[in-house]
């Protein structure tokens, strides 16, 4: 039986992705060597499942559908640039995902509780950093950018996503998209 590399998450609306690409283009002009996340791969990861047996994918999709049916659609906000692990040692540059209602956090928690996986605070990865050439200049420019992108958008669905690693970067394929329903969590 084959294993499939999977995660549970949501893709970003087109209008938000277009603004994210503008931020990525600005970052690419700064003194940093990095690999940008491809336009079509911009997403928010709720639970990384890793290698899953092909026979378990249907069960995971069914559990996800059941969870999503119990949550209403809700709004989140994207904005603010952050560094992983931190500003002193930058490996990944991300956009923060703000969840003032805590609905995304509750949904993510329910997914990891019922399905499993590894969950991190929600964010949108912009790029993976190899090294920063002139850190002070780079950080000054990033601080100017921090308020450039603030978007609110509705979360209408959550997807089980297959991640196939290739030399050209990962290829993401939606295995199952689950609409949020009119459920218990208002």
Q: Which tens digits make up the pLDDT trace of 94-134?
A: 999 999 889 999 999 999 999 999 888 899 999 999 999 99
Q: Which domain holds residue 31?
A: 3-179
What pTM was computed for the model?
0.88
Residue 185 is assigned to a structural domain of this protein: no
Residue 43 lies in a domain: yes
Q: Is 184 a domain residue?
A: no
Tell me: the pLDDT tens digits for 13-44? 999 999 899 999 999 999 999 999 999 999 99
DSSP state of 69: T
Question: Could you write out the DSSP letters of every residue in 70-137?
Answer: TB--EEEEEEEEEEEE-SSSEEEEEEEEE-TT-HHHHHHHHHHHHT--B----EEEEEEEEEESSHHH
Residue 144 lies in a domain: yes
Split into its structural domains, the chain has a count of 1
Residue 14 in any domain: the answer is: yes
Active-site annotation, residues: 43, 123
Say if 143 falls within a structural domain.
yes
Whether residue 99 contacts residue 105, with contact meaning beta carbons closer than 8 Å, is answered with: yes
Cis peptide before 85 (omega within 30 of 0): yes
**Is 76 part of a structural domain of the chain?**
yes
**CATH number, position 16:** 3.90.1140.10
């Amino acid at each position: 039986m084959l294993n499939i590399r999977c995660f549970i998450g949501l893709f970003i609306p087109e209008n938000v992705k277009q603004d994210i690409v503008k931020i990525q283009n600005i970052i690419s002009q700064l003194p940093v060597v990095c690999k940008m996340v491809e336009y079509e791969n911009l997403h928010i990861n709720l639970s990384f499942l890793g290698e899953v047996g092909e026979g378990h994918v249907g069960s995971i999709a069914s559990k996800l559908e059941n969870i999503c049916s119990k949550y209403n659609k809700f709004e989140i906000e994207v904005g603010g640039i952050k560094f992983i692990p931190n500003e002193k040692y930058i490996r990944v540059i991300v956009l923060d995902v703000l969840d003032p209602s805590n609905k995304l956090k509750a949904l993510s928690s329910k997914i990891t509780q019922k399905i499993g996986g590894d969950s991190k605070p929600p964010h949108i990865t912009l790029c993976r950093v190899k090294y920063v050439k002139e850190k002070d200049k780079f950080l000054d420019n990033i601080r100017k950018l921090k308020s450039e992108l603030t978007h609110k958008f509705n979360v209408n669905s959550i997807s089980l996503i297959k991640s196939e690693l290739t030399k050209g970067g990962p290829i993401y394929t939606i295995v199952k998209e689950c609409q949020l329903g009119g459920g218990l969590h208002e």
